[in-house]
Structure 1
């Protein structure tokens, strides 16, 4: 995601120092006030929030489609039109009259009428596209003969609920896939991902040094060859997948403002440099994800320049103009330099999808981290998924969905996985700034895991380029970072490490203060002198990655809480393939002490059999004392450990 601040005025209002919760905030952690605005908008809208049951159907399974109309939109009848041949639905498509299923009342939105249609089951590989038409009730008026729809249901999620008219998302879709096809490729599920911000990572210089510019928005000189030179370091670290920040031709150092979706930015290197990087990464067993930015471009992109100059230009309908040529839709309607691409434009779609296929076919990339995924409709993502999987069946699509858990769930069957912003917020609040105690964390985790069970896969992180670095929010306390990482790597989502976190990178000031340039403060140059690294932290991360890769139960097992004591700030859970109280072979027991004092946790003896050993501790190894029926584990302050009963133990 680009930095909004860098496109704003130079005049920065005085700001108070952020509190702990603000420092720990993540982009997807929406404030309640914003959620309520979206909820209240139902009063005046006819909406389909991609509410289908099931979310991702298997072959032959019928699908319920639900829509809702607010009390200020008196819909008299509604009809769903759908196609299965890839064409955009219209009134000539197969029609399903919707039934008025029920009326509910909400304290914010008032009375809501719920409409239901059932689309028959379809064979595997089908993309079902649909639109929902509505006709308003007009008491006392004679019925017209087959009138045109007066309103089309719009997507009410993400940022799209703000839209109306031709800018609204009114075409929806889902894919029918076999059970195995709905899952991410196994290589992605089992990956440890390392996020690289190209301009700030490593240069072509022999020592890899990246210039420290006084201007935080200036180019610092990171290159593709620099990343290639770092592959031995990354291989020794143990990561199995690299996520590269955008590398196409763009204006800024971050490159979330594309000028050309098909060209490698020559400031990063050449096409041959990218091919060499891909070849060596693959030879080392590493996959590569490209950060792909399909929702907006630079205002100097040739397509937008042409659209502003000529209403008859082929690219004119790629963009939404409220008042041509100078008032148009932009990223979050906040950054004029980033005009948004229209999700419903067939021309824009063809261009974006063709560029994704270009990177897959020409360079052999393994997938995409999809920036600002809420900027496009589910219909767009279904087409994107079909096209990319048609070329590479094991492609991995990871969406940046900065929205509520309710919205995240609905990407199941559209994208493989989503970045786990809710979990990041919880980890940062619990382990980073201690505004949550372990009781709140456990309640969140238990509810959230259950709620997301039928959603897409998730990828976890502690920090990234759009938020304060984790070590910074702890007050530069590595022991807290270790605890958070231990928790992150022993939960199911695929873990991501932001470059430099493993060696103790921090920052000078909170990004919200704008003291040193906003988000750029969390995007500092990677240090390449080993004497500048926290070697103990780096060794811990290497061990943590080995542990994750050696214990499949951390990826595929169930989680069961075996201890929680908020008064002494201790917490323990088991990752297991079995359902009983015993720790079986291959299972893992994970224990945390978040207090400033040594603490002893007493568990039933079966929770840690004598054959189990301490595989990893964030500090000194815990002391274990056994009796006939119990096991007492004493751990030092602010520490965590993983125990397991391995084969042969």
Structure 2
């Protein structure tokens, strides 16, 4: 989700007064008891299943047991008993495996309605009822042997953002399990010209991390009517701790979605690729009818001064990460995905709504399991949250969150133009003024003596302590993809110019000291027919057409070449702000629309001595002065070869129009 992207779901704000917690017991939310130990609500054993619900303001709580995940009535209702820390418990001494359950909470004489709880880890179709299963039976073969692919440093991360459906739904993908988790387990898939698609394509491209758009159980797609092909990105959470059924081959069987998600992770790990989960803890799809509100009314959401629900997400509510049980919930949820599903990283939607302390607690918990788990997010909100700015996980406060990265809209918009005007171009369109913001991105948003922060578009001070805290990108899912943006901002652009500028944009991304991030399909010149916000557009708009891999073979080869260049040359991923300041030096360039720099003195132990990168967005050749000597060219005119594309001599070199030049001494 993005700052201006306000229409994901249209949930009206509801006042809290209608079902406010009993103030007889707790004068404020800060006084609510915190549940100790795990937040598990269902603990299965063949002899008996233990149920525990945290609902400190409840007068009564009932547990309902069902034979099916939807339809029919409860075959048994069990009264739960009050216990410690505001919990309610019940023990059912039967073998409940295969059964379903919900809770119903009564407050001030009113039953709030059925909920699977806040922490369901298995659900029936559409997530309305939780399921009783043995989680170990969901493990695919050899799951215990599944290992994270090695990662020496966060500087080595290369992210590929993908939606399950986009990736595989087109007939040209050659994938059988179209739109499913299992699509990413299929090897040997090809397009009509026998070029690799699917997981083999990802291996060929060379990315290290696949960032999957929301894959927890979300509310906007009816899992019982998948023939309708209703599309959504999934930024509308329903059950945070269980995979969504629309990406499973059978949404009615609770174990299937869990097992298939694990099979996907396992297959990507075997391919040497880590998996990032997109998490949306900042709001829920429903408000008054949400699992949170039906369990502990008011507690999990922030309130506006008038007592109604605050709405920094522009989706009807904003969660209260600063309250102890919401903080605990988020930490445990992340750990559940790490431990149960072997997830390797997390991207936080509208991270700026969460407080800094919670994000640091999440980082600490993830580090305790594996320090290489990568965490990043959107350092903004849709509107001002109900907390002081200096306590929020906003981009400007990234330096207060070691080991957590944020997206750099400075570099993105300096390259292609502002988010809120698709027709407005920038550096790539030949408009001067974005050079300093691009330099800000090249150094990874850290302090650098040659970056004049007063001239940077959005941030007048560096916000990253380390370059690995900045995500370097030019487009992502909730915006025009790069091809559409170039067409929109440069009227009359030719196909040749489009390919040139596309390559130039990604050269800035992949040679940046930040962590590079690309949107799936950009490497084959994907378009989305000019749709800016395609969150519920049909497959005809969102699907990746894999025939484009044949049509744009040169662009794919260039992206692949950039990734190899970055992987083989540590100068492009120094990973340390001090090293960036020491080894990265910007070169003077006369006039606008040229950014030139060198990575000097075998930066990062690089085998190449001094490496030069020049980005020229002009429609004519640019001249740059360099020391006298002989240089080997490795990137020129839209082609990359580490073995060399020829030699050049100083003291003045020519950079072809609308292209990048990379050479070394």
Residue 364 (structure 1) aligned with residue 347 (structure 2): no
Equivalent residue in structure 2 for 1:432, among 409, 424, 428? 428
The alpha carbon displacement at 1:321 in A equals 4.6
Alpha carbons of structure 1 residues 227 and 517: separation in structure 2 relative to 1, 3 Å: closer
Corresponding residue for 1:553?
A: 571
**Whole-angstrom distance in 1 between the partners of 2:441 and 2:8:** 35
Question: Who is 1:416 aligned against?
Answer: 404
Aligned position for 1:295: 282
Residues 320 and 340, structure 1, Cα contact 8 Å, conserved in 2: yes
User: For residue 481 of structure 2, what is the aligned residue in structure 1?
Assistant: 469
- Structure 2 equivalent of residue 176 of structure 1: none
Q: Deviations over 1:526-585 (max 9, x none)?
A: 112356642111111111111111110001153211231216x54421023569xxx983
Question: What is the deviation of 1:372?
Answer: 1.0
Instruction: Please show how residues 24-63 of structure 1 align to structure 2 within 5 Å.
Output: none
Is 1:593 the counterpart of 2:616? The answer is yes
Task: Work out the CA distance in 1 between the residues paired with 2:541 and 2:400.
Answer: 31
Q: 1:529 & 1:584 partners in 2: Cα distance?
A: 38
Correspondent of 1:317 among 299, 305, 323: 299
| Rounded Cα–Cα distance in structure 1 between residues aligned with 2:399 and 2:588 | 33
The residue that corresponds to 1:394 in the other structure is: 372
Q: 1:285 aligns with which of 267, 272, 283?
A: 272
Please state if 1:541 is matched with 2:541. no
Residues in 2 aligned to 1:644 and 1:542: alpha-carbon distance in whole angstroms: 20
Pair 1:576–1:329, CA change in 2 (3 A)? same
**Distance (whole Å) between structure 2 residues aligned to residue 599 and residue 206 of structure 1:** 41
CA distance 1:597–1:393, change in 2 (3 Å):
closer
Mapped partners of 1:273, 1:362: distance in 2: 13
3-state SS in 2 of match to 1:454: coil
Contact 1:461 1:497 in 2 (8 A): yes
Tell me the alpha carbon deviations over residues 455-505 of structure 1, each in whole angstroms, 9 at most, x when there is no partner: 562121110012222222222612111111112111201101111111101
3-state SS in 2 of match to 1:5: coil
Match of 2:104 in 1: none
Q: How far 1:210 moved relative to its partner?
A: 11
- C-alpha separation between the residues in 1 aligned to 2:380 and 2:470? 13
SS at match of 1:335: coil
Pairing of 1:250-269 with structure 2 (within 5 A): 250-252=218-220, 253-269=232-248
Give the superposition deviation at 1:453.
5.5
2:505 is aligned to 484
Inter-partner Cα distance in structure 1 for 2:363 and 2:549: 45
| TM-score w.r.t. length of structure 2 | 0.59
Match of 2:654 in 1: 634
The alignment status of 1:192 with 2:188, answered yes or no, reads no
In structure 2, what is the Cα distance between the partners aligned to 1:386 and 1:620?
Answer: 43
Q: Any stretches of 5+ residues in structure 2 without a counterpart?
A: 13-35, 37-149, 187-197, 221-231, 249-256, 382-388, 418-425, 448-461, 488-492, 575-579
Q: In structure 2, how many angstroms separate the alpha carbons of the residues matched to 1:519 and 1:432?
A: 28
Is 1:226 aligned to 2:183, yes or no? yes
- How far the C-alpha of 1:9 sits from its partner, in A, is 10
- Paired with 1:199 and 1:571, the residues of 2 have a C-alpha distance of 38
Q: Which runs of 5+ in 1 are unaligned?
A: 11-86, 88-183, 212-220
Equivalent of 1:575 in 586, 596, 599: 599
Q: TM-score, normalised by structure 1?
A: 0.61
- Aligned-pair RMSD on alpha carbons? 3.7
Counterpart of 2:310 in structure 1 is 329
Deviations 1:181-203 (A, max 9, x none): xxx97443212111112232214
Higher fraction of strand: 1
Report the equivalent of 2:102.
Answer: none
Aligned to 1:13: none
- Per-residue CA shift, 1:379-403, capped at 9, x if unaligned? 2112222222223332211121127
Q: Which residue in the other structure is 1:5 paired with?
A: 7
Pairwise CA distance, 1:375? 1.1
